[in-house]
Structure 1
Amino acid sequence: MPRFGAASEIAAFHERLESRSIASKRIRASHAVHSSLLDPILPEFKIHAAQVDLHAPQMPFMSTVLGDWLEPDVRLDSNYWVRNLRETVQFHQAFDRLVQSGHELFIEMGPGAALTGHSKRFKSKINPHSPLAFAALPGGDHGQGDRLRLLQTLGKLWSCGVRVDWSGLHAHHHPQRTPLPPYPFDRKRYWLDAVVTKEQEQNADLNQPDIAATSVDRPTGNEGVRSPTEVEMSAEAALDSQIGAVYRDILGLDEVALTDSFFDLGGDSLSALSVIDRIEQLTGERVAVSLLLEHQTPRGLAIALSKTRGSARQNALVPIQTGGSRTPLFCPTLLGTCTPLYASC
């Protein structure tokens, strides 16, 4: 929750939060909007706003000043815009009215994803599922560029069933088909328990085993033994689920897919530090913040962490004497401990 005030008051409030181990972040802003610090300039602002030729909106308008639909008889005069500058933003109330009106898909127009994050934390009284929200230009592009981010958002909207005017998108150049690779083979076993219908039970011979029931039975012998690769993949899958749970807890969301970007979900630099701290507690290892910036999804971050942890493993064999004509001697040591020093005889 933002709090505005003089620099000394903000510094004192920041120290109080730190003493209680509450994460906070100081935000530098040119104007403390929606606060009493704007009161001295409101009369002059009203004069300038009154000189603008204002018209009634041509489409339904949800007002975050009123927290409701703007009625046709309400004028958007200078008094309204003074309230818009000074009063508290009724975002939650206005968003609730939109959901009650049947709107389920939202696009945040403009840079950043602050409102997208707020909308995904919204709890509706009539709909248990969180509304779908996407940012047109989410933050943290890391050199991707606005066009690529817009196309990514457009693809997400299309996957949700939104009709896209492809001719308008490709008006200046003709697109080409790109051949895609086949579906990747996921090296995991999925065994289904046999299901026998009542008709099969009535017609089955008690002296004969049911072929349909035994054909999908679980493997026996060495077939059920998992290879080291499968064990490593299972650990990686468990880690991405744990990272997804961390995203949910830190951002206050009900659902997080393994392919959801942290910053698209409404994450910021402050909450990223909390995520890194939780992941370090899970893994017992130091994690660089840059790793989350480069791999923002739970699945991508889990894969990156697995590679980082694998490359950092120490060799359990400490060479004692590797030169000369004699057979080299090696001494095993515990992983994670300091390598002891040995002297050759």
Structure 2
Amino acid sequence: AAVLAERGVKTRRLTVSHAFHSPLMDPMLDEFRTVLASVAFAAPAVPVVSNLTGEVASAEELCSPEYWVRHVREAVRFADGISTLQEQGVTRFVELGPDGVLSAMGADCVEDGVFVPVLRKDRDEAESAVTGVAQAYGHGVSVDWAAYFAGTGIGAGARRVDLPTYAFQHQHYWLKSRAGSANVASAGLSPAVHPLVGAAVSVAGGDEVLLTGRLSVQSHPWLAGHAVGGTVILPGTAFVELAVRAGDQVGCGRL
């Protein structure tokens, strides 16, 4: 403990009745072996990585009383077990225990593993369990949500819904139209009947006339042929044509 304290490692005394996995267990091994001889064992339904060997245990090992006698006495090969699981492609670990101690230890054994404890000390059990399930789901673990909502009182009404759009996922509601294709008369304008001008309107309170239009390579593809240094520029002749059209609108025949 003194050496650990010098290295800055946090330690605490365990509140247990026996010093498991140590020589202090030797006096009870024979009696423990006798009790195990009366126990009926069955082969596991899922693969089990042994803390005794650090490898996948066989059914013969797990059904043997002697295996469990050794388990009480010998060291825990936790790091070896985690490495074995990692070698078999396991990247997500769920801790079914009273706290997250093993998850913290496991994170020190592998760099790219995800460790999810379902219970945490001094936290609400139901909330911790659901948080663990959600965390596992966020890392790709399949969750039976129908079973989760069953019997909760809202299961009958629970259904999948689309998530709301994010702020950067813009959804526009304006009608898409090209210049000159809309009914400008409904907006109080007069059609200009010209390929470069969309509409004309007399300005209120004076004799001025305003001509409007939209020019782009989408509405006028030929503009792309007049580029300088990679930038599309409206030709000077187009400016002349706009001025001539404006003169025609107000009866001015000179440029």
Q: What range describes the TM-score normalised by the shorter chain of this pair? A: 0.5 to 0.7
- How many angstroms apart in 2 are the aligned matches of 1:28 and 1:130? 33
AA aligned opposite 2:85: L
Match of 1:136 among 103, 118, 124: 118
| Structure 2 unaligned spans of 5+ | 169-226, 233-255
Matches within 5 A, 1:252-271: none
Match of 2:149 among 166, 170, 186: 170
Q: State yes or no: 1:70 paired with 2:49.
A: no
What is the Cα-based RMSD across aligned positions, in Å? 3.2
The equivalent of 1:35 in structure 2 is: 22
Q: State yes or no: 1:203 paired with 2:226.
A: no
Q: 1:131 deviation in Å?
A: 0.5
What's the CA shift string for 1:190-233, capped at 9, x where partnerless? xxxxxxxxxx996259xxxxxxxxxxxxxxxxxxxxxxxxxxxx
What's the CA shift string for 1:116-166, capped at 9, x where partnerless? 11111113xxxxx4201100112231xxx2111111111111111222111
- How many angstroms apart in 2 are the aligned matches of 1:204 and 1:27? 75
AA aligned opposite 2:134: G
- How many angstroms apart in 2 are the aligned matches of 1:17 and 1:121? 17
CA contact (8 A) 1:122 1:130 kept: no
The equivalent of 1:149 in structure 2 is: 128
AA aligned opposite 1:147: A
Change in Cα spacing, 1:115 to 1:203, as seen in structure 2 (3 Å) is: same
Which stretch shifts more, 155-164 or 111-120?
155-164
- How many angstroms apart in 1 are the aligned matches of 2:62 and 2:82? 22
Change in Cα spacing, 1:117 to 1:203, as seen in structure 2 (3 Å) is: same
Change in Cα spacing, 1:43 to 1:162, as seen in structure 2 (3 Å) is: same
CA contact (8 A) 2:61 2:67 kept: no
Q: TM-score, normalised by structure 2?
A: 0.58
The percentage of counterpart residues that share the same residue type is: 28
Q: Which has the higher helix share?
A: 1
CA contact (8 A) 1:67 1:91 kept: yes
CA contact (8 A) 2:54 2:81 kept: yes
Aligned residues: 170
Match of 1:79 among 58, 66, 76: 66
What's the CA shift string for 1:161-205, capped at 9, x where partnerless? 222111211111225689x999799xxxxxxxxxxxxxx996259
- How many angstroms apart in 2 are the aligned matches of 1:54 and 1:86? 20
AA aligned opposite 1:44: E
Relative CO higher for 1 or 2, CA cutoff 8 Å, sep ≥ 6?
A: 1
Give secondary structure in 2 for the equivalent of 1:134.
Answer: strand
Match of 2:46 among 46, 52, 59: 59
AA aligned opposite 1:166: W
| Structure 1 unaligned spans of 5+ | 1-12, 124-128, 186-199, 206-345
The equivalent of 1:260 in structure 2 is: none
Change in Cα spacing, 1:58 to 1:23, as seen in structure 2 (3 Å) is: closer
Give secondary structure in 2 for the equivalent of 1:63.
Answer: coil
- How many angstroms apart in 2 are the aligned matches of 1:130 and 1:27? 30
AA aligned opposite 2:64: D
Match of 2:80 among 76, 80, 93: 93
Give secondary structure in 2 for the equivalent of 1:62.
Answer: coil
Change in Cα spacing, 1:146 to 1:17, as seen in structure 2 (3 Å) is: closer
